[in-house]
Structure 1
């Protein structure tokens, strides 16, 4: 048995340690700038969940997962800090691309959140359950207005017909 097998899967880094304090505060400020009236604590929670999502998507690129609109708000803010995001993805071993599309209730896959939460747990994180609920049970209103369809061909114009929701398989 190899050492890797004996020790099991590598535990992921705590999501908060993926960014310096300055980086975390800058990305959280972007969330706050885009969501007037949001409390800083909530913006921090969204960012932490976005980091968990990105790590999970990088570790399991072929699994079709998607963030909630709330978590997507944190992911959007992270992506806007392009150098930071590129550096993070490089450290994770792969780029995690974002393929936005306009919301469409007819494409909603109720199982995608269950699958996403399960993958985050499999990665080694505990999801913030209040932020991983369906669109009818949102904890907070966010500016993000795109959704992610976990079926082939469901992506918007950026990557039509070749979607793995989070960019799976580089």
Structure 2
């Protein structure tokens, strides 16, 4: 396990300045009331999530709803998203879940935060707490990464 002193506070460097700004703008445009400072944090955390997901072999990771806003914005920039995933080692598919299959629990949260730390980043705790799952409503869709059989919005575990 990586020690906290070695963890990077930001994953901003994974995108160009222009690319990062475009993703931040999309988060703001598509989510009424999200100020630029929060959008920057959301995109940065989504980058950490994707970096972790590309490396998390066989583990079930799930973003908070706030982090998910950034993941959606990244995915909509398909070429940039493909390059980000390729740099991490594998493409992370996105498959939305319906409200009847939502699975949110402390164990999945802990596993996701551990994977982010293992990828070398310090999670922004505010964007991962339960409050982060209720502040901004992005519809009935919730998402996960690396799930098997049943839950969607996932990438198959890496071999």
- Per the normalisation by structure 1, the TM-score is 0.78
Query: Is 2:129 the counterpart of 1:133?
Result: yes
- Per the normalisation by structure 2, the TM-score is 0.82
Change (3 A) 1:36 1:91: same
- The alignment partner of 1:25 has SS state of helix
- The alignment partner of 2:99 has SS state of coil
- Match among 90, 113, 117 for residue 113 of structure 2: 117
Q: CA deviation at 1:153?
A: 1.9
Assess if the C-alpha contact under 8 Å between 2:10 and 2:44 holds in 1.
no
- The alignment partner of 1:84 has SS state of helix
Provide the C-alpha distance between the structure 2 equivalents of 1:52 and 1:65, rounded to a whole number of angstroms. Answer: 12
Corresponding residue for 1:63?
59
Q: CA deviation at 1:145?
A: 3.9
Query: Is 2:16 the counterpart of 1:27?
Result: no
Assess if the C-alpha contact under 8 Å between 2:147 and 2:155 holds in 1.
no
Change (3 A) 1:12 1:126: closer
Matches of residues 69-84 of structure 1 in structure 2 within 5 Å? 69-84=65-80
Segments of structure 2 that go 5 or more residues without pairing to the other structure are: 1-6
Deviates more, 1:101-110 or 1:75-84: 101-110
Provide the C-alpha distance between the structure 1 equivalents of 2:137 and 2:46, rounded to a whole number of angstroms. Answer: 14
Segments of structure 1 that go 5 or more residues without pairing to the other structure are: 1-10, 159-164
Corresponding residue for 1:146?
141
Change (3 A) 1:13 1:97: farther
